[in-house]
A = this chain, B = another copy of it.
Amino acid sequence: MQSPKTSDVDTVYQRVWEAIVAHKLLPGTRLKEEELCETFGISRGFVRKVLLQLSHHKLVNLVPNSGAFVAEPSPAEAREIFQARRLIEAELVRELAGKCTEQDKRLLEQHVAREHEAFEGGQLSLRIRLSGEFHLLIGQLANKPVLTSFLHEIISRSSLIVALYQGTSPRKGKQRIYSPCSEHTGLLEAIAARDVQTAVDLMREHLNEIEAQLQLEPPKEEALDLKAIFSEL
């Protein structure tokens, strides 16, 4: 459509991914195969592959004979995702902080610089992507492909969760819209300084921060909601 012939399967995956985690495709949205076909100018077989990959990463629900829907992670799922993140990322930071080379440091700095740029530029989906990729970079530099591949999935789901549970309702204090740029900087410094304990603590704190900003109240009773609605009338 807009990009002529830039439509292999990975590109399409990437674009749909960005649309989902940037909340351009709302959770629950149905993704019709044919629609995606003409959008990206690819055949149904390819679309099917992309949807399969997305469902594998739990970003879409694939309901047999019914269709593909953007996932709607529950609060419980969200909490577990962050539990898993703390578990895995603390370990990865511990590894990397224990053996961070000059080269590693440089790569991290470069990445944070790019994040900063994107933050200034204000491009939401790019910021989200880079923010996730910073965490992935830690895993890669720690040289732990297995944990990193898990992290890849977790961070995708995490991005969707943040998009879902962050912007909806009003919050006390300033509305920090997912700008962990400065926290990344601090983390980077601790890692580069090989200060393992501080780095691990910062990572845990960083993840707690992100989770704390979410509205993860358990779904309330219908009755209460109805009352609230009537009282507002």
A106 at the interface (CB under 8 A from B): no
Choice from B84, B146, B154 contacting A80 with Cβ under 8 Å: B146
Q: Which residues of A140-166 have CB atoms within 8 Å of chain B's CB atoms? A: 144-147, 150, 154
Q: Which of the four size classes fits the interface of chain A?
A: 10 to 19
Q: Is the interface of A mostly helix, strand, loop or mixed?
A: helix
Q: In the bound complex, what is the Cα–Cα distance between A77 and B88 (angstroms)?
A: 16
A33 at the interface (CB under 8 A from B): no
Choice from B80, B146, B147 contacting A147 with Cβ under 8 Å: B80
A86 and chain B: residue at smallest CB distance: B91
B contact residues around A154 at 8 Å (CB): 146
A154 and chain B: residue at smallest CB distance: B146
Contact B77 A145 (CB under 8 A): yes
Contact B147 A84 (CB under 8 A): yes
Known: A52-B52, A56-B56, A150-B150. A91 touches B87 (CB 8 A): yes
**8 new A-B contacts at CB < 8 Å, known A80-B147, A83-B147, A146-B154:** A56-B56, A80-B144, A80-B146, A83-B144, A87-B87, A87-B88, A87-B91, A87-B147
Complex A-B, nearest 7 residue pairs according to Cβ-Cβ distance, in ascending order:
A80-B146, A150-B150, A84-B146, A84-B147, A87-B91, A80-B144, A56-B56
